[in-house]
């Protein structure tokens, strides 16, 4: 029979993707010029020329070599490249055998959560959080536990985490730079988190794993992003080149089980098992081979930096309140009424598409993606102004 849980998930699609789909329809109705779609994190910066050039080179090689199956965890070359990259940048101590290539960070999260939980376990997330964490945790028959972050800074609330992490907690998820709030967790906060998780693991007699979701790692404007795995050994990193190299639709990323943890081999085996169970065979091979040589390609943040300035200065001028974002390409803006969904709906009437905070596990805010052309940000200001005025 049709599975009622899957049916419900399919009929209630993610708010973000629903808004994105609405925007696509709306653009066809009234013209793309008139819709200010700040809904989805679809990078507007072009893929670097080096990536395209590498693909062209690959296409001139024998087809059976470049499009064939790889081993399930990925090519030896790309796994070595990932380990080298992490070691050069973060002194991570990474070994290639602890890298598992995936169809993007979302698949990495899916396999890691399946590998690191048994039914009935708890998965702790820090709100506001990427809403699909709930979907993936519940699909693993785990229970999602929401812990609020510190008001205004949106840094981790270590006291609240201390209270929430119990003997059934198998995984804590962090996401820095944060989607949706744009916060970057400081080294001090991560050190505190590491200390807390070591203490909890010792008390419970089993490791509480840290799942570090890092698709925005490269997107920081003022200072490098501290690497969570350097503060806690039992960390699994979930990464994607979707945002840094503007390849979101290509589904290429990895899960990396820190080689410093005592059970890294077991965690990798369980991740490989979860890959089989969930339906992954190997990550798309052409992009594995692209990353073999393009992994050190720097992201181009110039558009996002300009947009960040345009949007924050524009909204400040209009009197909006927001969190100054240190990283990612999202601005977290306080809604002008307590009901963020109503606020988002009113914005939609003005063809301004912004995501209500309810779907991120908190009330009263909206997320605005500024990974769009600067012209969209500029043109959106009239809508922001009209929206503000409608509340006066």
Q: How far is the CB of 150 from a second copy (least distance, A)?
A: 30
Using the rule CB under 8 A, is 281 a contact of a second copy?
Answer: yes
Site string for a second copy, 225-264 (x = CB under 8 A): ---------------------xxxxxx-----------x-
Return the residue of 30, 118, 159, 163 that touches a second copy, per CB under 8 A.
Answer: 118
Return the residue of 273, 321, 345, 375 that touches a second copy, per CB under 8 A.
Answer: 273
Q: How far is the CB of 67 from a second copy (least distance, A)?
A: 5
63-67 contacts at long range (C-beta below 8 A, 24 or more positions apart): 66/285, 66/286, 66/289, 67/285, 67/286
For a second copy, give the closer residue by CB, 14 or 191: 14
Distance CA 27, CA 17 (A): 15
Distance CA 196, CA 198 (A): 6
Residue keyed to tokens 């070595």: 80
Return the residue of 3, 31, 222, 392 that touches a second copy, per CB under 8 A.
Answer: 3
Contacts (CB under 8 A) with a second copy, residues 154-173: 170
Q: How far is the CB of 104 from a second copy (least distance, A)?
A: 7
Angle between helix 374-390 and 340-349 (nearest 10)? 110
Phi-psi domain of 239 (left: phi exceeds 0; alpha: psi -120 through 50; beta: other): beta
- Count residues contacting a second copy (CB under 8 A)? 87
Using the rule CB under 8 A, is 5 a contact of a second copy?
Answer: yes
Using the rule CB under 8 A, is 29 a contact of a second copy?
Answer: no
Using the rule CB under 8 A, is 376 a contact of a second copy?
Answer: no
For a second copy, give the closer residue by CB, 108 or 315: 108
Instruction: Specify the stretch interacting with a second copy by CB under 8 A; choose among 11-19, 148-156, 158-166, 380-388.
Output: 11-19
Return the residue of 269, 316, 318, 382 that touches a second copy, per CB under 8 A.
Answer: 269
Q: How far is the CB of 386 from a second copy (least distance, A)?
A: 28
Instruction: Specify the stretch interacting with a second copy by CB under 8 A; choose among 44-52, 86-94, 217-225, 319-327.
Output: 44-52
Instruction: Give the number of other Cβ atoms within 10 Å of residue 154's Cβ.
Output: 25
Q: How far is the CB of 30 from a second copy (least distance, A)?
A: 18
Query: Of 253, 258, 310, nearest to 283 (Cα)?
Result: 253
Instruction: Specify the stretch interacting with a second copy by CB under 8 A; choose among 67-75, 85-93, 217-225, 376-384.
Output: 67-75
The residue count for the chain: 392
Using the rule CB under 8 A, is 295 a contact of a second copy?
Answer: no
For a second copy, give the closer residue by CB, 58 or 335: 58
Using the rule CB under 8 A, is 42 a contact of a second copy?
Answer: yes
Query: Of 291, 355, 351, nearest to 54 (Cα)?
Result: 291
Q: DSSP secondary structure string, 350-368?
A: TTEE-EEGGGGT-SSEEEE
Q: DSSP secondary structure string, 265-298?
A: HHHHHHHHHHHHHHT--S--HHHHHHHHHHTTPP
Taking the mean position of all CA atoms in its chain, how far away is CA 343?
24
If residue 328 lies in a helix (H) or strand (E), which one and from where to where? Answer: none
Q: How far is the CB of 254 from a second copy (least distance, A)?
A: 13
For a second copy, give the closer residue by CB, 287 or 365: 287
Distance CA 136, CA 121 (A): 13
Contacts (CB under 8 A) with a second copy, residues 84-103: 103
Label the pairing between strands 355-356 and 365-369. Answer: antiparallel
Distance CA 95, CA 79 (A): 9
Tokens, residue 31: 């013209």
The beta strand positions in 138-208, using DSSP E, are 143-148, 169-174
Using the rule CB under 8 A, is 279 a contact of a second copy?
Answer: yes
Using the rule CB under 8 A, is 117 a contact of a second copy?
Answer: yes
For a second copy, give the closer residue by CB, 157 or 303: 303
Using the rule CB under 8 A, is 6 a contact of a second copy?
Answer: yes
Q: How far is the CB of 288 from a second copy (least distance, A)?
A: 8
Instruction: Specify the stretch interacting with a second copy by CB under 8 A; choose among 64-72, 143-151, 329-337, 379-387.
Output: 64-72
Tokens, residue 387: 């929206």
Using the rule CB under 8 A, is 107 a contact of a second copy?
Answer: yes
């Amino acid at each position: 029979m049709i599975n009622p849980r899957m049916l419900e998930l399919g009929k209630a699609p993610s708010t973000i993707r629903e808004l994105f789909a609405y925007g696509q329809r709306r653009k066809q109705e009234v013209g793309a010029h008139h819709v200010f779609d700040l809904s989805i994190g679809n990078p507007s910066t072009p893929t670097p020329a080096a990536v395209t050039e590498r693909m062209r080179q690959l296409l001139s090689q024998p087809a059976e070599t470049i499009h064939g199956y790889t081993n399930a965890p990925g090519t030896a070359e790309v796994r070595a490249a990932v380990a080298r990259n992490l070691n050069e940048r973060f002194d991570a101590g990474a070994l290639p055998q602890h890298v598992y290539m995936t169809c993007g960070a979302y698949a990495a999260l899916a396999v890691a959560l399946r590998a690191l939980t048994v039914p009935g376990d708890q998965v702790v997330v820090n709100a506001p959080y990427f809403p699909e964490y709930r979907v993936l945790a519940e699909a693993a028959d785990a229970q999602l536990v929401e812990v609020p972050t510190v008001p205004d800074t949106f840094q981790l609330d270590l006291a609240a985490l201390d209270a929430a992490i119990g003997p059934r907690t198998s995984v804590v998820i962090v996401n820095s730079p944060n989607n949706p709030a744009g916060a970057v967790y400081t080294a001090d906060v991560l050190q505190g988190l590491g200390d807390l998780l070591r203490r909890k693991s010792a008390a419970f007699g089993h490791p509480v794993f840290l799942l570090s979701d890092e698709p925005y790692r490269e997107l920081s404007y003022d200072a490098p992003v501290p690497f969570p795995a350097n503060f806690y050994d039992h960390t699994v990193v979930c990464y994607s080149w979707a945002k840094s190299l503007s390849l979101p639709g290509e589904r290429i990323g990895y899960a990396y089980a820190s080689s410093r943890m005592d059970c890294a081999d077991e965690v990798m085996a369980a991740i490989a098992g979860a890959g089989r169970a969930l339906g992954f065979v190997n990550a798309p091979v052409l992009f594995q081979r692209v990353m073999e040589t393009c992994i050190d390609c720097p992201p181009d943040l110039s558009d996002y930096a300009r947009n960040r300035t345009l949007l924050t200065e524009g909204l400040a001028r209009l009197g909006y309140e927001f969190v100054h974002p240190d990283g990612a390409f999202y601005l977290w803006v306080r809604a002008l009424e307590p009901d963020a969904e109503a606020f988002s709906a009113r914005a939609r009437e003005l063809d301004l598409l912004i995501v209500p905070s309810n779907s991120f596990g908190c009330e009263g805010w909206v997320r605005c993606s500024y990974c769009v052309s600067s012209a969209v940000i500029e043109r959106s200001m009239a809508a922001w102004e009209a929206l503000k005025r409608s509340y006066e």
